[in-house]
Chains A and B, each alone.
Chain A
Amino acid sequence: MSGFLSSSIGRKFAMALSAFFLMIFLLQHFAINILSVFSESAFNKASHFMGTFWAVQYLLQPVLIFGVVFHFVMGFVLEIQNNRARKIKYAKNNGGANSSWMSRNMILSGLVILAFMALHFIDFWIPEINTKYIQGDMSGLHNGEFRYFHELEEKFHSHIRTIVYCISFIFLALHLLHGFNSAFQSVGANNKYTRGLKGFSKIYAIGIPLGFIFIALFHHLK
């Protein structure tokens, strides 16, 4: 087992596992965010729970951060290896004839998502950490009310931020459109359920980012 993670298949498997984990997180993230469309208080309660419950904060959050870092670091490692596997490039290469744009540009869509995450961290996560762990205010209150919903609304006042978020979600969709399917292939899914899983992955890849775009626009236009 020691050589597993240094083998090409092992690394791809790990890539897929981290991807599955991130996709579950994304689904959960989406589920809470969509609450903001329907009910301010539900959204606030859920946010407060996630932000203060010890198991989420001290167990899941580090795992999540590890997952994210692992996924993109491994992504870069593989990309560098893959680039090295062909020293002289083709003078003419017709990649469109045999593969999708998404599949050939995972590193590009990945980088856009990474940049987005930087923005997203600056917007939400760093202020959260600052409030909770540096200033030590674990109440989740601002002027006597839960602050989460208002912080969310505030961020989506800006046109530019909303546009940047929407574009990022499009890239997320492109990344998922290939990535989700690809993860099944990497873990060796090859049975009668595979086709169904692949259909589901397409729905997920388009549905979730579309949902996020909806939430962003909803708050922007409100």
Chain B
Amino acid sequence: MALDSKIPQGPLAEKWTKYKNEINLVNPANKRLIDVIVVGTGLAGGSAAATLAELGYNVKAFCFQDSPRRAHSIAAQGGINAAKNYQGDGDSTYRLFYDTVKGGDYRSREANVYRLAEVSANIIDQCVAQGVPFARDYGGLLDNRSFGGVLVSRTFYAKGQTGQQLLLGAYSAMNRQIGRGKIKMYNRHEMLDVVIVDGKARGIIARNLVTGEIERHSAHAVVLGTGGYGNVFFLSTNAMGSNVTAAWKAHKRGAYFANPCYTQIHPTCIPVSGDHQSKLTLMSESLRNDGRIWVPKHMKDVEAIRAGKLKPTDLAEEDRDYYLERRYPAFGNLVPRDVASRAAKERCDAGYGVNATGEAVYLDFAAAIERYGKEQAHVKGLDENDPKVYLPLGKDVVKTKYGNLFQMYEKIVDENPYETPMMIYPAVHYTMGGIWVDYNLQTTVPGLYAIGEANFSDHGANRLGASALMQGLADGYFVLPYTIGDYLADDIRTGPISTESPEFDEAEKSVRDMIDHLVNNEGTKPVDYFHKKLGKIMWNKCGMSRNEKGLKEAIEEISELRKEFWKDVRVPGEATEFNEELAKAGRVADFLELGELFAKDALLREESAGGHFREEYQTEEGEAKRRKEFQYVAAWEYKGEPKDAVLHKEDLVYENIEVKERSYK
């Protein structure tokens, strides 16, 4: 099947308006006759479910957590971008569009990104109307901060928990609809298959995680807002339960999976402390606004620090290597995430890592504390040159800005970041790849939609900070509710979809077979054993930098591991009860397939772009080298084993932006 991205004709800035004017609408009386399933209740799923219910559709929403509010969007810290230009610093829809496409290393779809930038301002209005308590200045107006990879301040924030506040906004909108009976909420339910009837998505098979019951749910359309697949690496900043299962099942039922190899490795995470580690903790990128990143210049100092003989605070300024400021004078510590991550890896690979594992660099707030402290001392008319005066003042300023992050760091690492520099290291954070969707956010299966991180569309090969929240809410509040209406307009006479059909029988049976196999396997190793092993292969061979040899090995190893998994995994307990191991086993089984496709995709992409760095393709200075012939989206069609997946290309056309070498120097 050829890929049709269905981008509307006309000038870029008019596409979305024109599209909205021309689509089919469903009249309010008919919306009552239409059911929509929304899987996932994060920013994308939650906002979509609420908006569709407001419009009048009957929504069934599903989440595997015990409440919609717990979806992992909640953990986003730094902020949300919007082209409001409240700061008057030259921001505009075009500039947000431009920054996003450039930040994504020219691997995203122009029309989608422009639409995203266009609706971004509405998101802020909507959230404020819902009562989201964004940070404000003393005049009572909304405050902004700047984020990596851009030259304007367009990021709205709520201290270090913007994600939670935005999600609570979407969740409150859902609550209103749940209270009205327009959303039927299924907590602690996991989607295990999508049901296709006559070529259209018409329902899902879900497992009630409390009772173990396998349930059939039908609808006229199915929306997946199920997030990303970063947990294929085992260690990531994703929640423990974040998984690819819903997306992967959709892929197996005909939805193409695009650019799986585009993974974002976030530069500011707390380093791994040992083998017991179950997940990694992100420290908001906003810290790079004030923190300076460095490693010692000389190997002898590195050794002394690791041996505990030298404190980082005692190292003289001229013996420190502020490598981001050195390499990228224009953006300094505020280069995009992929660039910052690779630079940290480069220093650590060269042996300059500052902790016992050699995988950590410093993020130092001493300069910021001094600068803010002196400012405050000046304002208060105190002695600006007395450290006893300005240091406590500076610490107070830093505390109001990043207090909760500093506290989190201290709890985990047991060191005081006000006194000694933080240690950070990159970790898997976000996946730009995902289910392929057209301009309507519809997958290659009619009636099956993918929104938020679950789809691939807007971030290209690298996502800019504070853009994930923007995309999730844009899709859910302002895009999907229009595009899905265009599709559903044909369904007003369909009537309720029956769950008594051969298609539902078949889907339920395949789910039951899988579960029966897992609980009756009588293997010897727990699920985590396989997940950790998969994670190691992924991190070592498909991580921050990749090469042909490693990727080929990874494909072999993952395929072997998958066989071993099905032979030797032990799932205790029964299928008909609360059984976390069983849920985990199902998720890891899918990761074991996705991992291989991931490596295959990375092997195919013989270039470096954004989060995908192939060692064979770099410039003389070690920067990513894009190649014109790879200016396409790689969308994979499922054909059984991941190795048999068939590639479909969607060429990326840039008519409104000049494709340039991405430079942050």
Direct contact of A and B (CB under 8 A): no
- A residues contacting B by CB (< 8 A) are none
